[in-house]
A and B are shown apart, each in its own frame.
Chain A
Amino acid sequence: MTVPTRLAALALFASGALAAAPALAADTVKVGLLSTLSGPGSGLGIDIRDGFQLAMKHNGGKLGNLPAEVVVVDDQQSPDAAKQTAERLIKRERVDFLTGIVFSNIMLAVGPTVFQSKTFYLSANAGPSQYAGAQCNPYFFSVSYQNDNMHEAVGKTVGDKGFKKVALLAPNYPAGKDALAGFKRYYKGEIVQEVYTPLSQLDYGAELSNLRASGADAVYIFLPGGLGINFIKQFVGAGLSKDMTLFGPGFSADEDVIRAVGEPMLGMFNSSQWGHDLDNAANKRFVADFQKEYGRLPTLYAAQGYDAAQLMSAAVRDTKGKLGDKEAVRKALKAARFDSVRGSFKFNSNQFPVQDYYLRVIGKDAQGRITNKTLSPVFKAHGDAYAAQCKMPA
Chain B
Amino acid sequence: MATLVLEQMLNGLQFGLMLFLLAAGLTLVFGIMDMINLAHGSLYMLGAYLVASIAAASGSFWVGLGGGVLATAALGALLEVSVLRRLYQRDHLAQVLGTFALLLMANEVVRMLWGSQPLQLNPPPALAGPVELWPGFVYPAFRLFIIGVGLAVALALYLLVTQTRVGMQVRAGASNREMALAMGTNVRRLFTALFALGAALCAVAGGMLGPLLAVQVGMGESILILAFVVIVIGGIGSIRGALLGALLVGVVDTAGRTLIPLLFGQLMGPAAAANAGPAVASILIYVLMAAVLFWKPRGLFPAH
Cβ of A38 within 8 Å of any chain B Cβ, yes or no, is: yes
**Looking at the complex, which one of B140, B270, B278 makes contact with A197 (CB distance below 8 Å)?**
B278
**Alpha-carbon distance between A229 and B105 when the two chains are bound, in angstroms:** 29
One digit per residue, 1 when the CB lies within 8 angstroms of any chain A CB and 0 when it does not, for chain B 271-287 equals 00010011000100000
Closest A residue to B258 using CB positions: A206
List residues of chain A with CB within 8 A of the CB of B140.
205, 234, 237-239
Given A37-B116, A39-B118, A198 contacting B278 (CB threshold 8 A): yes
B4 touches A213 (CB 8 A): yes
List residues of chain B with CB within 8 A of the CB of A207.
257
A39 touches B116 (CB 8 A): yes
Cβ of A127 within 8 Å of any chain B Cβ, yes or no, is: no
Query: Chain A's nearest CB lies how many Å from the CB of B57?
Result: 18
One digit per residue, 1 when the CB lies within 8 angstroms of any chain B CB and 0 when it does not, for chain A 236-267 equals 11110000000000000000000010000000
**Alpha-carbon distance between A229 and B211 when the two chains are bound, in angstroms:** 11
Q: Which of A182-215 contact B (CB under 8 A)?
A: 194-198, 200, 202-203, 205-207, 209-210, 212-213
Given A212-B7, A237-B129, A239-B129, A39 contacting B254 (CB threshold 8 A): no
B15 touches A40 (CB 8 A): no
B8 touches A236 (CB 8 A): no
Cβ of A43 within 8 Å of any chain B Cβ, yes or no, is: yes
Query: Chain A's nearest CB lies how many Å from the CB of B41?
Result: 15
A196 touches B274 (CB 8 A): yes
Q: Which of A34-74 contact B (CB under 8 A)?
A: 37-40, 42-43, 46, 74
Closest B residue to A239 using CB positions: B130
List residues of chain B with CB within 8 A of the CB of A239.
129-130, 138, 140
**Alpha-carbon distance between A268 and B217 when the two chains are bound, in angstroms:** 31
B11 touches A43 (CB 8 A): no
A205 touches B254 (CB 8 A): yes
Closest B residue to A46 using CB positions: B117
B138 touches A238 (CB 8 A): yes
**Looking at the complex, which one of A172, A209, A210 makes contact with B278 (CB distance below 8 Å)?**
A172
**Alpha-carbon distance between A138 and B139 when the two chains are bound, in angstroms:** 52
List residues of chain A with CB within 8 A of the CB of B254.
205-206
Cβ of A100 within 8 Å of any chain B Cβ, yes or no, is: no
A203 touches B118 (CB 8 A): no
Cβ of A155 within 8 Å of any chain B Cβ, yes or no, is: no
Q: Which of A208-234 contact B (CB under 8 A)?
A: 209-210, 212-213, 226, 229-230, 233-234
Query: Chain A's nearest CB lies how many Å from the CB of B15?
Result: 7
Cβ of B155 within 8 Å of any chain A Cβ, yes or no, is: no
Query: Chain B's nearest CB lies how many Å from the CB of A323?
Result: 33
List residues of chain A with CB within 8 A of the CB of B278.
172, 196-198
**Alpha-carbon distance between A260 and B7 when the two chains are bound, in angstroms:** 27
A39 touches B216 (CB 8 A): yes
List residues of chain B with CB within 8 A of the CB of A39.
116, 118, 216-218
List residues of chain B with CB within 8 A of the CB of A196.
274, 277-278
List residues of chain A with CB within 8 A of the CB of B222.
200
B11 touches A206 (CB 8 A): yes
List residues of chain B with CB within 8 A of the CB of A195.
261
Cβ of B31 within 8 Å of any chain A Cβ, yes or no, is: no
Cβ of B93 within 8 Å of any chain A Cβ, yes or no, is: no
Closest A residue to B6 using CB positions: A209
Among the interface residues B138, B141, B222, which one has the most CB atoms of the partner chain A within 10 A? B138
Cβ of B183 within 8 Å of any chain A Cβ, yes or no, is: no
Given A212-B7, A213-B4, A236-B129, A38 contacting B212 (CB threshold 8 A): no
**Alpha-carbon distance between A196 and B218 when the two chains are bound, in angstroms:** 23
Cβ of B126 within 8 Å of any chain A Cβ, yes or no, is: no
**Alpha-carbon distance between A153 and B122 when the two chains are bound, in angstroms:** 32
Cβ of B185 within 8 Å of any chain A Cβ, yes or no, is: no
Q: Which of A275-308 contact B (CB under 8 A)?
A: none
**Alpha-carbon distance between A200 and B216 when the two chains are bound, in angstroms:** 12
Query: Chain A's nearest CB lies how many Å from the CB of B118?
Result: 6
A203 touches B212 (CB 8 A): yes
**Looking at the complex, which one of B15, B129, B214 makes contact with A205 (CB distance below 8 Å)?**
B15
**Looking at the complex, which one of B4, B118, B209, B218 makes contact with A212 (CB distance below 8 Å)?**
B4
**Alpha-carbon distance between A207 and B129 when the two chains are bound, in angstroms:** 17
**Alpha-carbon distance between A260 and B216 when the two chains are bound, in angstroms:** 15
B214 touches A237 (CB 8 A): no
List residues of chain B with CB within 8 A of the CB of A43.
117
Cβ of B142 within 8 Å of any chain A Cβ, yes or no, is: yes
Query: Chain A's nearest CB lies how many Å from the CB of B45?
Result: 13
Given A40-B214, A213-B4, A236-B129, A260 contacting B274 (CB threshold 8 A): no
Given A200-B222, A202-B214, A239-B129, A213 contacting B1 (CB threshold 8 A): yes
**Alpha-carbon distance between A337 and B122 when the two chains are bound, in angstroms:** 46
List residues of chain A with CB within 8 A of the CB of B7.
209, 212-213
**Looking at the complex, which one of A40, A42, A206, A237 makes contact with B141 (CB distance below 8 Å)?**
A237
A209 touches B129 (CB 8 A): no
Closest A residue to B138 using CB positions: A239
**Alpha-carbon distance between A206 and B214 when the two chains are bound, in angstroms:** 17
Cβ of B190 within 8 Å of any chain A Cβ, yes or no, is: no
One digit per residue, 1 when the CB lies within 8 angstroms of any chain B CB and 0 when it does not, for chain A 68-87 equals 00000010000000000000
A213 touches B3 (CB 8 A): yes
**Alpha-carbon distance between A39 and B130 when the two chains are bound, in angstroms:** 29
Query: Chain A's nearest CB lies how many Å from the CB of B190?
Result: 35
Given A200-B222, A237-B140, A205 contacting B11 (CB threshold 8 A): yes
Contacts A/B (CB < 8 Å), 10 sampled: A39-B217, A40-B214, A40-B216, A46-B117, A195-B261, A197-B278, A202-B213, A212-B7, A213-B3, A239-B138
Q: Which residues of B contact A (CB under 8 A)?
A: 1, 3-4, 7-8, 11, 14-15, 111, 116-118, 120, 122-123, 128-130, 138-143, 209, 211-214, 216-218, 222, 254, 257-258, 261, 270, 274, 277-278, 282
Q: For the complex of A and B, list the 9 residue pairs with the smallest distance between their C-beta atoms, beginning with the closest.
A: A239-B130, A38-B116, A213-B4, A209-B7, A205-B11, A237-B140, A202-B213, A206-B257, A239-B138
Taking A194-B274, A234-B212 as known contacts, 15 extra A-B pairs with beta carbons closer than 8 A to each other, sorted by chain A number, are A37-B116, A40-B214, A194-B270, A202-B212, A205-B254, A209-B7, A209-B11, A210-B4, A226-B118, A230-B213, A230-B214, A237-B140, A237-B142, A239-B129, A239-B138
